[in-house]
Structure 1
């Protein structure tokens, strides 16, 4: 049964901005979302129980309590919600998960910010960031001075399914696409996502220097999940260019 199970009824939100962190290329969405949850000391607000999500239980160090693999964290002061996912979503389940979350977006009048990595080999220049939008989401991109895409492309996985659902329903939403390491976790690309995309759109100020300083630690912590992504890249959310023959 699809539902969002609220754990803290004292949390009050009014048309919140949601930052989505399903794992994908470079784990940029997950790294950025996890970092924002930690930096803003966001509270565990709800568990996500959607048809299509893996039926697994998650536990953490020094805590015997288990929790759901996909969770929502909230910062009522900033009217901010972050989706933290500890599991990839199978492509066959992406639409079910998108529809489940879309119902909650309706109920809470949420403005979603979807995150995706575009696989690029690392170079000397900082990774480029692009924005896409549905409904009137383009206004938020303009205010944040996020560039338009420099090439045609598509977004797949659960992130792509949620953007497609927003398009179908005429929902205001934005997608942020950042060039990311296609093989390893990329905290630098996650930093660009936060600094140049999420913060200007959500009106937040998130310290990000630690992301680069802790790149080695983050890489070690995420390595197992990155390996899962490499073995089943079709299950991850990612952006990719459209080839000429498509």
Structure 2
């Protein structure tokens, strides 16, 4: 049965939740992993929703097994991070989105969903755009995040999450960063963290080493990126210009 099993005593205080599902450029994945490690977040809950394979994850220097999709929390319960070590199948993303969104509503959580927009640019600071559901536009205006310059869509599990938020009238924000189509993109993740997550979630994140260690991050994520491309191709979570379909 789909559910989220809490394993922490931290009480939530209307938190923002940063989503880190693997997608184009692994932007959300890299951003979420960096938040968990740099802020030393506590393991909060196991996510058991439709679309998540029945596998167990182990980490370096630990014999403990973990679920592949997990929630982490900061000490005061104002920040959650949805960390995923595997892709969620787009074919059953709807059930996954319903599971997550129901829990978000029950716990007064404001989700920040992350997607990469395919780009040929080689900019030091990739552009970041914002979309929203519910009252999310006010959050974007306050943070100074501009809307996309052209129409498009967000596909895959992240797109399903945004669609479900819209259907239920949930206040959510979608952060869309220009990112590499072929490789993990830590520069895009840095833009998401500095210009999106920091003002929206009211946190400070040290991102200096994120780009300094870009090559190390690329090597560590390369195998996952290849699996994403081979398994689902264009169905992974990403933002796409509508002109691609016209």
How would you bin the TM-score normalised by the shorter chain? over 0.9
Question: Any idea what the Cα deviations from partners look like across 1:59-111, whole Å, max 9, x if unmatched?
Answer: 11221121100000001326000000000011111001000111110110100
CA distance in 2 between counterparts of 1:59 and 1:244 reads 40
Q: Secondary structure at the match of 1:116?
A: strand
CA distance in 1 between counterparts of 2:235 and 2:41 reads 28
Q: Which aligned pairs between 1:1-246 and structure 2 lie closer than 5 A?
A: 1-8=1-8, 10-77=9-76, 79-124=78-123, 126-231=125-230, 232-243=232-243, 246=246
TM-score, length basis structure 2: 0.96
CA distance in 1 between counterparts of 2:109 and 2:19 reads 12
Q: Quick check: 1:88–1:235 contact (8 Å CA) kept in 2?
A: no
Q: Mark the CA change 1:130 to 1:17 in structure 2 (over 3 Å): closer, same or farther.
A: same
Q: Quick check: 2:11–2:77 contact (8 Å CA) kept in 1?
A: no
CA distance in 1 between counterparts of 2:244 and 2:220 reads 38
CA root-mean-square deviation: 1.2
TM-score, length basis structure 1: 0.96
Q: Secondary structure at the match of 1:160?
A: helix
Q: Mark the CA change 1:56 to 1:136 in structure 2 (over 3 Å): closer, same or farther.
A: same
Q: Quick check: 2:105–2:170 contact (8 Å CA) kept in 1?
A: no
CA distance in 1 between counterparts of 2:51 and 2:76 reads 32
Question: Any idea what the Cα deviations from partners look like across 1:122-157, whole Å, max 9, x if unmatched?
Answer: 324631110000011001100100011101000011
Q: Secondary structure at the match of 1:243?
A: helix
Q: CA deviation at 1:15?
A: 1.0
Moved more, 153-162 or 226-235: 226-235
Q: CA deviation at 1:244?
A: 7.1
Question: Any idea what the Cα deviations from partners look like across 1:7-51, whole Å, max 9, x if unmatched?
Answer: 11x211111100000000100000001101111110000000012
Q: Secondary structure at the match of 1:114?
A: strand
Q: Mark the CA change 1:170 to 1:146 in structure 2 (over 3 Å): closer, same or farther.
A: same
Q: Secondary structure at the match of 2:11?
A: coil
Q: Which 5+ residue runs of structure 1 have no aligned equivalent?
A: none
Q: CA deviation at 1:245?
A: 5.7
Q: Which 5+ residue runs of structure 2 have no aligned equivalent?
A: none
Q: Quick check: 2:115–2:177 contact (8 Å CA) kept in 1?
A: yes
Q: Quick check: 1:229–1:235 contact (8 Å CA) kept in 2?
A: no
